[in-house]
Structure 1
Amino acid sequence: MNESVPTEPFRPADDVTHHVGYLLKRAQAALRGAMDKVLREYGLTVPQYATLELLALHPGMSNADIARATFVTRQSGNVVLRGLQEAGLIARPATADQGRALPARLTEEGQSRLAAVQAAVYAVEERMVAGMEPRRIASLLADLDHIASALEG
């Protein structure tokens, strides 16, 4: 026999500091602050680090692709790419083979810097979920993905 559990319609808490959105923003701000702190020691910002991680996984991404994936505007993405290029961490051709996109790739220095900083960033994430059971982390990831999907469309 399948019994369904009655569900009540969602109602936000009376105290705004207990709303899902507020707590998500608080967690995001805490994560950003912790990441800013460790990345500063390596001369990187969060968008720069995210760009290096993405380019390690997907060499040749365009500015538009990177901007979307790092949640910044195209203009901001271009500023990030220029900074990384000036620092010798990425390389882009002077002209595009097709269209206007200039595919970016990590340089050897970019790969080295990324490898050096990854352990520090991953330690932040480990600290963030310390004490949580692995199954709860898996559920949290699924819930966060569901939240993003629900709001994206």
Structure 2
Amino acid sequence: MMEKPPIEPPRLPKDVTRHVGYVLKRAQAALRGAMDGVLRQHGLTVPQYATLELLALSPGMSNADLARATFVTRQSGNVVLRGLQEAGLIARPAVADHGRARPAHLTEEGRTRLAAVQAAVYAVERRMVEAIPPERVAALLADLDRMAAALEE
């Protein structure tokens, strides 16, 4: 049986604006800018909105879990949680039942605010995704997951 020759790594374009990382960052920056615009109208930031979405999906998450899931430091996550709590959008116990974690939950006002903003945020994502053929969305998501996993190893 013949051995296959090694696969050569792809050659990067000389123009950095055509590198995958650059284009990916440009898309992320455009998404963030569009989300900032719609969230500002609802008095929320992207980390606050992401926290509300995650707590709707998984009530009781800790600050550390939320910080990891929203891509901020624990310190920044704590600032986000305090702001949401002061706004009446989440509730956390004053003291932890055990350890240091104080599980967070959406309040009724938090659920209402999240519902009010979701349509606007989802419209931003829909506008972005509609720029590519529908049959390529699943492959794009799978490729992005693989790229993230390759860098997390």
- The answer to whether TM tops 0.5 is yes
Within 5 Å, give how 1:44-59 maps onto structure 2. 44-59=44-59
Superposition TM-score, scaled by structure 2 size? 0.94
Whole-angstrom distance in 2 between the partners of 1:97 and 1:43: 31
> C-alpha deviations, 1:74-119, integer Å up to 9, x for none?
0000000000000000000001111010000000000000000000
Deviation at 1:7, TM superposition (A): 5.3
Superposition TM-score, scaled by structure 1 size? 0.94
Aligned partner of 1:41: which letter? Q
Deviation at 1:9, TM superposition (A): 1.8
Show structure 1 runs of 5+ residues with no match. none
**RMSD after superposition:** 1.3
Deviation at 1:8, TM superposition (A): 4.0
Show structure 2 runs of 5+ residues with no match. none
In the other structure, the counterpart of 1:130 is: 130
Whole-angstrom distance in 1 between the partners of 2:91 and 2:117: 19
Q: Sequence identity of aligned pairs in percent? A: 79
Find runs of 4+ consecutive structure 1 residues off by over 6 angstroms. Answer: none
Deviation at 1:146, TM superposition (A): 0.6
Deviation at 1:39, TM superposition (A): 0.1
